[in-house]
């Protein structure tokens, strides 16, 4: 192997998956996290087959499949009329077509499974309550925290590790806000599908809803245009912000409006993204996940890309000299991320279409059978990460 040990900054999905992927190759890692406890902020997430396949390689799929839900399909529905526009089959279809399951679960569930695996692995050491004054290998060595061969920045969109990478991308506000909350089964309208992921579409806004097996309720994410204060993340939001959100869903089905108005525990997530830039310094530091390429959630691939990054980087570090592994990682991953950005931008346009564009969208989608729509995702869901 080209390295013996790694220091990982951040104990989210990217960092924990990186540690387990490195351990698979016999490489030791120290994971540094500034939080006192790993309590995942947010609500649900979708794990498509390209990500669940990697988790299966890491031996985690059985633990996840015991608690997650494999949706029957992913449906696009009018937020006004509740008419189904189109759907992509999942469930047994996903396993057969893409060779791995499509699951939905609470973020805390995935984090718990990852943390348990890290704690059980003798090659992984998790350090909580550790805020690094300078996220660099030199600082870690001088502080007596770790002597590592490589530094992996897995510390999210507001990454401090990016300061070690010249010409790295900078965060920019996307102009959109996500409101996330868990809807209790008792409060859920009857029309909500208890077996599927549903994206309700409307002018300049959309809402995604799917059941969470662990909680017995629904994960709800409403996305619309809004304003942001830098780093305002996971907050309750002001009354003015809540009023703006509800106004943007005016004219939708009345029950959807009621759900949004009654969402007392909703959290406010300004959506930041990263543009193009370098992901490594050519020497000892590399970025993965949102630290490298945070993007809009219009393709539901944030966690999946972090998992793919971690797994593929570990394989490259285990089989190539450090500088070569860094270049190979960028060469392999950047075109995939670029294509995914294009898909997310298309989804944003399609989901938020207005007027004649909305009518045309509905007609075109309605003419395509589910299996034909599924084929559009072969490049994404059928991807086999190399680790």
| CB-count exposure of residue 12 (10 Å: 0-12, 13-18, 19+) | buried
Question: What's the domain range around 342?
Answer: 5-171+274-381
**pLDDT of 235:** 66
Does residue 199 lie in a domain region?
Answer: no
Say if residues 144 and 249 touch (Cβ distance below 8 Å): no
Does residue 122 lie in a domain region?
Answer: yes
The 10s digit of each residue's pLDDT in 311-331 is 999 999 999 999 999 999 999
pLDDT at 232 over 80: no
Among 72-86, 148-162, 239-253, 290-304, which is the least confidently predicted range?
Answer: 239-253
What is the share, in percent, of the chain residues with pLDDT greater than 70? Answer: 96
210 labelled catalytic: yes
**pLDDT of 231:** 57
**pLDDT of 41:** 59
**pLDDT of 8:** 98
Compute how many other C-beta atoms are within 10 angstroms of the C-beta atom of residue 343. Answer: 16
Does residue 369 lie in a domain region?
Answer: yes
Does residue 353 lie in a domain region?
Answer: yes
CATH of the domain at 292: 3.50.50.60
Could you write out the DSSP letters of every residue in 64-78?
Answer: HHTTSB--SEEEEEE
Does residue 82 lie in a domain region?
Answer: yes
pLDDT at 21 over 90: yes
The 10s digit of each residue's pLDDT in 182-199 is 999 999 999 999 999 999
Structurally, how many domains does the chain consist of?
A: 1
What is the share, in percent, of the chain residues with pLDDT greater than 90? Answer: 70
User: Looking at residues 31-56, what average pLDDT do you find?
Assistant: 87
DSSP 163: G
Q: Which of the four pLDDT bands, split at 50, 70 and 90, describes residue 67?
A: very high
Among 52-61, 79-88, 214-223, 233-242, name the most confident range: 52-61
Among 117-121, 243-247, 258-262, which is the least confidently predicted range?
Answer: 243-247
Say if residues 68 and 349 touch (Cβ distance below 8 Å): no
Compute how many other C-beta atoms are within 10 angstroms of the C-beta atom of residue 226. Answer: 20
In terms of phi and psi (left: phi > 0; alpha: psi -120 to 50; beta: otherwise), the region of 94 is alpha
Does residue 177 lie in a domain region?
Answer: no
Does residue 299 lie in a domain region?
Answer: yes
Does residue 386 lie in a domain region?
Answer: no
pLDDT at 234 over 60: no
pLDDT at 111 over 60: yes
Q: Which residue in 210, 351, 381, 383 is the catalytic one?
A: 210
pTM: 0.95
**pLDDT of 2:** 80
**pLDDT of 121:** 98
């Amino acid at each position: 192997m080209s390295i013996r040990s790694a220091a990982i900054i951040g104990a989210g999905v990217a960092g924990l998956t990186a540690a387990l992927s490195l351990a698979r190759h016999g490489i030791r890692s120290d994971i540094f996290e500034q939080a006192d406890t790993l309590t995942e902020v947010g609500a649900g997430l979708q794990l498509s087959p390209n990500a669940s396949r990697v988790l299966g390689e890491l031996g985690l799929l059985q633990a996840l499949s015991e608690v997650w839900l494999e949706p029957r399909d992913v449906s696009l529905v009018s937020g006004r009329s509740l008419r189904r526009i189109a759907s992509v089959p999942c469930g047994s279809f996903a396993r057969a077509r893409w060779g791995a399951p499509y699951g939905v679960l609470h973020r805390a569930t995935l984090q718990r499974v990852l943390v348990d695996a890290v704690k059980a692995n003798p090659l992984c050491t998790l350090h909580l309550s550790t805020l690094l004054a300078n996220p660099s290998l030199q600082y870690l060595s001088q502080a007596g925290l770790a002597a590592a061969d490589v530094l992996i920045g897995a510390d999210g969109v507001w990454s401090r590790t990016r300061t070690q990478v010249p010409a790295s991308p900078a965060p920019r506000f996307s102009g959109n806000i996500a409101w996330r909350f868990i809807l209790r089964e008792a409060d859920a309208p009857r029309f909500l599908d208890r077996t599927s992921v549903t994206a309700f579409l409307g002018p300049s806004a959309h809402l995604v809803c799917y059941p969470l097996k662990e909680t017995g309720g629904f994960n709800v994410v409403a996305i619309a245009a809004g304003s942001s204060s830098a780093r305002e993340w996971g907050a309750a939001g002001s009354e003015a912000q809540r009023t703006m959100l509800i106004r943007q869903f005016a004219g939708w089905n009345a029950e959807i409006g009621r759900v949004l108005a009654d969402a007392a525990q909703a959290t406010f997530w300004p959506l930041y993204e990263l543009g193009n830039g370098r992901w490594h310094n050519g020497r000892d530091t590399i970025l993965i996940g949102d630290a490298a390429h945070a993007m809009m959630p219009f393709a539901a691939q944030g966690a999946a890309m972090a998992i793919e990054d971690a797994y593929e980087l570990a394989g490259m570090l285990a089989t190539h000299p450090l500088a070569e592994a860094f270049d190979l990682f960028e060469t392999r991953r950047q075109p995939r991320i670029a294509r995914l950005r294009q898909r997310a931008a298309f989804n944003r346009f399609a989901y938020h279409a207005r007027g004649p564009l909305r009518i045309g969208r509905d007609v075109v989608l309605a003419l395509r059978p589910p299996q034909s729509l599924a084929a559009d995702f072969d490049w994404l869901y059928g991807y086999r990460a190399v680790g």
